[in-house]
Structure 1
């Protein structure tokens, strides 16, 4: 199958399909600031990064793009949450192809799920935000909802929020549940701005990977939260990344796991040969710089061609 874009990949051959990627736009109409760790953040400029990404993807005639979550920042004034989210969605809608979104913690600080998911065209039942799609027969993309069990985004008395708060109380002794003080190693992930994949979603993942195996499909997993400690700071990991990867490793179909959330980017290959790539954040691009990319899919590899502050990465399958 060839695409009208005529893209020739890094290996000098035409990919099966190519698509755009961007993560952590975290737009807000507020002055520049800094993260908890003092890293500069450019809240208004991130809109320009997204515009450049969409222009680039349109120029390359890409059929689809994936947004890895956190489109609006938690510091966005609450009265502006809806208009700011709509503004960013409109920028994505300027892309000529399909856009697949996933939710992040910052999205959920701004809007409850029942308002957010329709804006992002995510149609999961019971306000769940996991789904899968196959742009070409040979590949399937599995989008996880990393805030399925979470202290943010659900009403306070919702079972997912109650379960999350109970879990955090057990795992994090700090009064501020976003503080990793005293937590060691990967236990530093037990923070309120992270979340977990719930039981039903885990069963769905198992079923979906089993189905993909039967159809001889290769799978790319996408999640706002990283799934491998070697690709990310421990503070950014999915609470139950180990349980998710235990399901993933039952099958040989998963070739790569792509994520956002950690902002600085990262890459690893796990013990079973699955590639993990965490994408650099659009939010942390100083004026005049960008971070987005194009991914070329081949039978035997996945190639990320990063723009500017997003590193390129060649991922050859086992």
Structure 2
């Protein structure tokens, strides 16, 4: 029996605004202050659509704590549910603020899941075991240094301090979410700041175990991320891995997307530099 072609729901995607009131980095083509206007433009488009929510895939700011005071009011103009996950630049703030970053953007917890019309969205905290996000003295900082050193010893292309990994506890939680979604006959979209596939220097340190877990669940149909600002795409194990492009990049060109969910496919409608894609399920 063919899939229904009825639109189930749609949602918005923003990746890496990375706002800060600082001079641009021309060598990296990053224009930090311009993200306020780009974000406002994206929100104007989103407000003209019927969306279930809008997700920002991390790097809301670029390490200056006060930047939240400038960019969060722009998000308040959004008429849809506004959701966040966090990236490495969100945690590049002074040490006294590290424990407060999640609360500053209103996260219910550092990682969480929710359902929408028979689909489950699993939102990861990719920064959990890293050299920057855990508060000073936290055991995850020491574990991160050990994991990074071990990965670097293998010559891995993603052995960089700007990447990170999941704790074993969060990895087990992800597995439990995938199993529970399967039991509930829900399809799953995993969302994270960091990519895991195709192989890239921006990938999670523990990319292999994440890919193996997701690929082992037929109901996991997509993995959406940011972090690698040029974007990327790959498919393995029946799951589409989409790396959305960074809003902070380029002086004038914007990038964001609307994802339309059908029973048999996902339609990504790209704006600006973001590519449009049809993802068959």
TM-score for both structures, normalised by structure 1: 0.83
Give the CA deviation at 1:135: 2.1
Question: Is 1:216 equivalent to 2:185 in the alignment?
Answer: yes
Q: Which residue of 1 aligns with 2:113?
A: 132
Normalised by the size of structure 2, how large is the TM-score? 0.93
Counterpart contact for 1:268–1:275, Cα < 8 Å: yes
Matches within 5 A, 1:21-100: 21-34=13-26, 38-74=27-63, 81-100=64-83
SS of 2:66's equivalent in the other structure is: helix
1:255 paired with 2:221, answer yes
Residues 147 and 196 of structure 1 are in contact (CA less than 8 Å); yes or no, is this contact kept in structure 2? yes
C-alpha distance in structure 2 between counterparts of 1:32 and 1:14, whole Å? 44
Take 1:148 and 1:235, find their aligned partners in 2: how far apart are those partners?
19
Deviation readout 1:278-302 (Å, 9 max, x if unpaired): 0011001322x21011000111111
Shift of 1:30: 1.3
Q: Tell me by how many angstroms 1:39 deviates.
A: 2.6
- Residues 178-257 of structure 1 mapped to structure 2, 5 A cutoff: 184=155, 187-230=156-199, 234-257=200-223
Q: Partner of 1:188: helix, strand, or coil?
A: coil
SS of match in other structure, 1:235: coil
Q: Which runs of 4+ in 1 moved over 4 A?
A: none
Point out where structure 1 has 5 or more consecutive residues left out of the alignment.
1-12, 75-80, 174-182
Q: Residue 41 of structure 1: SS of its match in structure 2?
A: coil
The root-mean-square deviation of aligned C-alpha atoms, in Å, is 1.7
CA contact (8 A) 2:6 2:263 kept: no
User: How big is each residue's C-alpha offset from its partner over 1:182-235, in whole Å with a ceiling of 9 and x where there is no partner?
Assistant: x74xx11111111001111111111111100011000001010002125xxx21
